[in-house]
Chain A
Amino acid sequence: MFEWQSGSLYDNIDKFASSLGYQNAGIAITLGMIPWESTEDRDAFIETITGDIPKGGNSTNYNLQF
């Protein structure tokens, strides 16, 4: 069964789409496909370009058993 994981492709896309806006779906999906070194790197990038904390699913949605 598929489980949602922090740092996965879908998690990245969720964070970018929620932070940049759904109307920017194309760029959000493209940025989500980048193999980020860590979720911290990804979130720092989002924070740099938006000037705000990353939006999207929070830690209660993550499968932290990895």
Chain B
Amino acid sequence: MAGNENSGGYRPSAPQNNMGVSATGGAGSKNGQPKRYMPGMKNLGSTGVETMAQQNAAPMSNPQTTPDIGAMRPSASMAKLRTLLDDTANPLEPQSTGVDFGRGLGSDVLPANINPDRRPIENQAIVKKYLPSFANAAKAPNAPDSFKSFVNYLVGQLDV
């Protein structure tokens, strides 16, 4: 028996209208779940009509495009990662210019109104908290002189 043109089968040239199907099944569609009347809402201080209106008020996010995962991959031509203190386009001024460690000039080149963020209050709190432990460690027979002088420096800071 010969079927008509709507009897099914693989017909890729036929108009397709399957894009509104919900991925989660049920009564939903690509636009979300349909509005429903909810009985018994009066006991919760609302009416069924208000609840229906709320369901349509804020539709769920519906991104129209999928991000291109391939575009997020690092490119093979991406330049090698540089370190914090690598040379810049201005080799006469290293990244560490203006601070008291690393290459370049120290904080003495900064304008007078720019003070380094030494955070003295936070530093004092840290020092007060840990100084007893540091002092005990500095008494170790093989503690390096640099650590002992650091502890002496901290003690001196607390006296100020």
Listed in ascending order, the chain A residues whose CB lies under 8 Å from chain B are: 1-4, 10, 13-14, 17-26, 29-30, 48-52, 55-58, 61-63
Decide yes or no: A10 and B147 within 8 Å by CB, A2-B140, A23-B118 being known contacts.
yes
Listed in ascending order, the chain B residues whose CB lies under 8 Å from chain A are: 83-85, 94, 96, 100-103, 118-119, 122-123, 126-127, 130, 134, 136-137, 139-147, 150, 153-154, 157
Q: Do most interface residues of chain A lie in helix, strand or loop, or is the interface mixed? A: helix
Decide yes or no: A49 and B144 within 8 Å by CB, A13-B134, A29-B130 being known contacts.
no
CB-based nearest B residue for A18 = B146
Residue of A2, A3, A25, A52 near B101 (CB, 8 A) is A52
How many residue pairs at the A-B interface have CB separations less than 8 Å?
91
Complex A-B, nearest 5 residue pairs according to Cβ-Cβ distance, in ascending order: A57-B144, A26-B123, A61-B144, A14-B147, A51-B102
> Nearest Cβ distance between residue B143 and chain A, in whole angstroms?
5
Q: Is the CB of A2 within 8 A of B137?
A: yes
Q: Is the CB of B146 within 8 A of A51?
A: no
What are the residues of chain B within 8 A of A10 when measuring CB–CB? 134, 137, 143, 147
> Nearest Cβ distance between residue A28 and chain B, in whole angstroms?
8
What are the residues of chain B within 8 A of A19 when measuring CB–CB? 101
Residue of B100, B119, B137 near A21 (CB, 8 A) is B100
**Distance in angstroms between the alpha carbons of A52 and B96 in the assembled complex:** 12
**Distance in angstroms between the alpha carbons of A29 and B153 in the assembled complex:** 14
**Distance in angstroms between the alpha carbons of A51 and B154 in the assembled complex:** 25
Residue of A22, A51, A52 near B150 (CB, 8 A) is A22
Decide yes or no: A48 and B83 within 8 Å by CB, A23-B100, A56-B147 being known contacts.
yes
CB-based nearest B residue for A19 = B101
